[in-house]
Structure 1
Amino acid sequence: MEKTVCELFAGVGGFRCGLNSIKDKDFSLLSETWKTVWFNQWEPGKKNQWAYDCYVKHFGTSLDLNGDDTTNVDISIVDKNAIPNHNLLVGGFPCQDYSVARSLNGEKGIEGKKGVLWWSIWDILKIKKPPFVLLENVDRLLLSPSKQRGRDFGIILSCFYNEDYFVEWRVVNAAEYGEVQRRRRTFIFAYKKNTNFAKSLNLENNNSLISEVLEKKSFFAKCFPIEKLDVFSIRKTTISGDLADISDNFSFDFANSGIMFEGSVYTAKTYPVITKSRTIGEILESKRVAEKYFISNDKLYFTNSDSTHSDETKTELSSEAKKTWQYIKGAKRKYRTASNGHKYIYSEGAIPMVDEWDKPARTMLTSEGSFNRSTHIVRDLLNNKIRILTPKETERIQGFPDDWTATGMPEKFRYFCMGNALVVSLVSRMEKILDKIFSEE
């Protein structure tokens, strides 16, 4: 099968870098073994499309079947018929409210909430019918919304079921498979039931056989090995093709691993065969870092450097104290007033102020690099002084080539793009199995 790809919500090209094992920003397009026939990246409400510009700087653009460049257009208004045919659809789509309702006009069938990008994916599945799909989302997707747990993922499974796909999913913590970040993400792999890969699984409604599939034969079992699975831990439910009914009535506690075929859903809590993770110390720059990344002592501490908490129910701190990293990362107790006038005590725990060299990074967020509780601060390798990460170091944490985002965008957007990206090396790991699957189709 030809290795053709459509990349949605492309960002700065994480899936494309991973599929083609791109290690250097000066790579050659001729070296790509997976041919991206079309992509789309559009940031709503933004005058400057920095991620798109970065993608095009490295890969160039793509024309649709009408000869138009619609790669930087809202995907919801793109003519899906004009998207070039492809065998693998990839994308990291946002976690949203996927609820649907029956329209008043029965001929129109189901209507989903406007602005929900999943419906654009579903439109492409219906029109272009790619045999394989690989998607990424946050781990809470399986549990949302809180008042009807599992409904949103149930709607996604129902959409796939309506288009004759089998679906696997797995929540992967990148650090447990050798990466430098404790980033947990849900990966979804779907494939048409008439593919050779689907047939090779010999799927039947039998817990013992399902156990073997989840543990050894499935896509994710081959990519991310797990410990032996207890057959009695597998739970089952069914998914119908009626999206409105799923939206109104479906609820289920999806575990971190599972499979859906012919409307039968099996899920189980699985445990990784852990690979020793890389550490922050391995990705820090070994050369001299610009002074602007270092943090002065008056911005680090407001009191004794050993203190890890503040209690403002006794004495309120000054505004200067609250602008220190010690305060923002420390444990807190302080009074707050609710909208109804009720006064209460707000508290939160401490997180380590300095991220040590011998551990993997925490999950990187889009606020990385700013004065924020979640931002990493580290000791510099050369002088042991405390600083924030450089943009190049955040690229290394996500597995991108050095200076991948040094394409003219402001530095704060380099951090934003990396906080928004996926772990490229996980995709490279999956590519090895995808390549084998495609060679047998």
Structure 2
Amino acid sequence: MEKTVCELFAGVGGFRCGLNNIKESVVYSPENNAKEKWKTVWYNQWEPAEKSTQYAHDCYKYHFGVCLDKNGNDTTNVDIEKVDKSTIPDFSLLVGGFPCQDYSVASSLATSKGLEGKKGVLWWSIRKMIEVKQPPFVLLENVDRLLKSPASQRGRDFGIMLACFRDEGYTVEWRVINAAEYGYQQRRRRTFIFAYKNTTKYAQHISKTVGCSSEDNDSKSSAAKLLGAEGFFAKTFAIKPIQESKIKIISLSENLGDISDSFQFNFENCGVMKDGIIYTIKTTPQYFGKQITLGDVMETGNVDESYFIPEEQLYYTDPEINRSDESQGKLPIQQRKTWQYLKGAKKLLRKSANGHEYIYSEGPIAMIDEEDKPARTMLTSEGSFSRSTHIVRDRKTGRIRLLTAEEAERIQGFPTEHTKYCDVDGKVVEMPLRKRRFMMGNALVVNLISDMEKTLSSIIDAE
């Protein structure tokens, strides 16, 4: 089977970099694209919040060019909900990192199945792509809370997704993976989903490993082999031995509407769904290799002065103090605009909607990020005056500063300077710093996809 890819919600190309093990920033050329092991036949990136710019798409285009649909049109920067999925070239692997939203359904006569998702919820575009194109394999990424959303009906959203895959004839494996627990440079937990058509040779191989026997002990034993040793994630990311007696089993209703209305289930961080039967268990990573740290990806040479934080913005009192008490009154605004205050523990006087006064407390976090550990999770607010922003001690001067754009890229496993340039209507422009940070806060850890590629490649080769 040919290694062809369709990348949805492509961002700046994290899946593409990972699948093709791209280590250095490239500029689009037919020659560079021809070197890629996985041929991307089409991608889509459209940011609805951007009215005049599309930096993510234009960065992707700068590195990889565009892909035309079957009609010869470039729809790579068109709202995916408006794209005619039948015009997309065929592919063997669908990939994408999509937003975590409300996946509930509503009755409608607009679809043959009598149900459709809420408008603007992008899972339904993925389902439509799967329904129309029937790709043999699917690899998706989402936040870890996907398994427990919404808070009012735990597990409903993921149950709906699994039912959609079941209805289209897929088996699904999932695993929540923290990149740092497999040696990489960021503590970032994400849910990865691997689905495969039941007609593939891979599915036939897996069927010999996991079954849906009516005997609980038999089915748990088979699921344990799949989740612990034989499955896609098990072969890619080792885990400690699991106890099959702790595997939980539940069946999905045949009716998607019933799942939307009443399904609740505590999904664990690892599992498989086959023929509507779910097997899930909490697993623990097992890794004995090298640990990449924040210090390993930091600059060792000169850093532009703009990244350094002025002394008056760092501390307002003794640097050893990491807490403030405002239960009797607020500190002066100048003190509250320091990183020491922002990252320190606090006691704040607040008032509820009914006028009741209470004390709100929050604990301290480390002001200077530790270089001998993996970086904390990077968010889209990276670089702003926020508790989540990384502050580091410059390796050359010892002064305190923010992360550079290149360090943010390396924390996510991208090539250095991957987000520096964009192709905007044929003109090369630099992406603004705040956007570069935003792109990285919104991305996945590319290293994990490179690890998965090895397993994917062997699967595709055997088809």
* Of 267, 272, 275, the match for 2:285: 272
**Are the equivalent residues in 1 in contact too, given 2:14–2:444 (CA < 8 A)?**
yes
Aligned partner of 1:347 in structure 2 is 361
Aligned partner of 1:251 in structure 2 is 264
Aligned partner of 1:13 in structure 2 is 13
Aligned partner of 2:136 in structure 1 is 131
State how 1:228-247 maps to structure 2 within 5 Å.
228-247=241-260
CA deviation string 1:22-57 (max 9, x = no partner)? 001137222201000000000003121000110000
Aligned partner of 1:204 in structure 2 is 211
1:30–1:222 Cα change, 3 Å: same
Aligned mates of 2:190, 2:111 — CA distance in 1: 37
What SS is found at the alignment partner of 2:22? Answer: coil
One-letter amino acid of the structure 2 residue matched with residue 360 of structure 1: P
* Of 322, 330, 346, the match for 1:308: 322
What SS is found at the alignment partner of 1:171? Answer: strand
* Of 18, 31, 36, the match for 2:40: 36
TM-score by length of 2: 0.94
CA deviation string 1:137-191 (max 9, x = no partner)? 0000000001100000000000000000000000000000010000000000000
Moved more, 21-30 or 254-263: 21-30
What SS is found at the alignment partner of 2:37? Answer: coil
Aligned mates of 2:73, 2:56 — CA distance in 1: 20
Aligned partner of 1:4 in structure 2 is 4
State how 1:33-432 maps to structure 2 within 5 Å.
33-46=37-50, 47-103=52-108, 109-201=114-206, 202=208, 203-205=210-212, 206-275=219-288, 276-407=290-421, 408-432=430-454
Q: CA deviation at 1:339?
A: 2.9
Aligned mates of 1:106, 1:73 — CA distance in 2: 23
CA deviation string 1:79-130 (max 9, x = no partner)? 0111111110000000000001222679671021110000000001110000
1:107–1:37 Cα change, 3 Å: closer
Aligned mates of 2:300, 2:154 — CA distance in 1: 46
Aligned partner of 2:462 in structure 1 is 440
What SS is found at the alignment partner of 2:333? Answer: coil
CA deviation string 1:373-421 (max 9, x = no partner)? 1000011110111111000000000001110000111100000000000
**Are the equivalent residues in 1 in contact too, given 2:7–2:42 (CA < 8 A)?**
yes
Aligned mates of 1:316, 1:127 — CA distance in 2: 58
Aligned residues: 441
Structure 1 residue runs of 5 or longer lacking an equivalent are none
One-letter amino acid of the structure 2 residue matched with residue 259 of structure 1: V
One-letter amino acid of the structure 1 residue matched with residue 24 of structure 2: D
**Are the equivalent residues in 1 in contact too, given 2:220–2:247 (CA < 8 A)?**
yes
One-letter amino acid of the structure 1 residue matched with residue 405 of structure 2: P
- The CA RMSD measured in Å over matched residues stands at 1.2
Q: CA deviation at 1:315?
A: 3.8
1:107–1:390 Cα change, 3 Å: closer
**Are the equivalent residues in 2 in contact too, given 1:159–1:241 (CA < 8 A)?**
no
The ranges of structure 1 where at least 4 consecutive aligned residues each deviate by more than 3 angstroms after the TM superposition are 104-108
1:62–1:331 Cα change, 3 Å: same
Aligned mates of 2:41, 2:315 — CA distance in 1: 52
Aligned mates of 1:60, 1:149 — CA distance in 2: 41
Moved more, 249-258 or 103-112: 103-112
Moved more, 204-213 or 87-96: 204-213
Moved more, 109-118 or 196-205: 196-205
Aligned mates of 2:110, 2:399 — CA distance in 1: 65
**Are the equivalent residues in 1 in contact too, given 2:324–2:344 (CA < 8 A)?**
yes
CA deviation string 1:242-274 (max 9, x = no partner)? 211100010000000000001110000000003
One-letter amino acid of the structure 2 residue matched with residue 22 of structure 1: I
Identity %: 59
Aligned mates of 2:462, 2:273 — CA distance in 1: 22
What SS is found at the alignment partner of 1:274? Answer: coil
**Are the equivalent residues in 1 in contact too, given 2:110–2:116 (CA < 8 A)?**
no
Aligned mates of 1:337, 1:40 — CA distance in 2: 46
Aligned mates of 2:113, 2:248 — CA distance in 1: 35
CA deviation string 1:258-291 (max 9, x = no partner)? 0000111000000000344211110011110011
Aligned mates of 1:228, 1:145 — CA distance in 2: 31
**Are the equivalent residues in 2 in contact too, given 1:132–1:191 (CA < 8 A)?**
yes
1:87–1:103 Cα change, 3 Å: same
**Are the equivalent residues in 1 in contact too, given 2:10–2:45 (CA < 8 A)?**
yes
1:386–1:247 Cα change, 3 Å: same
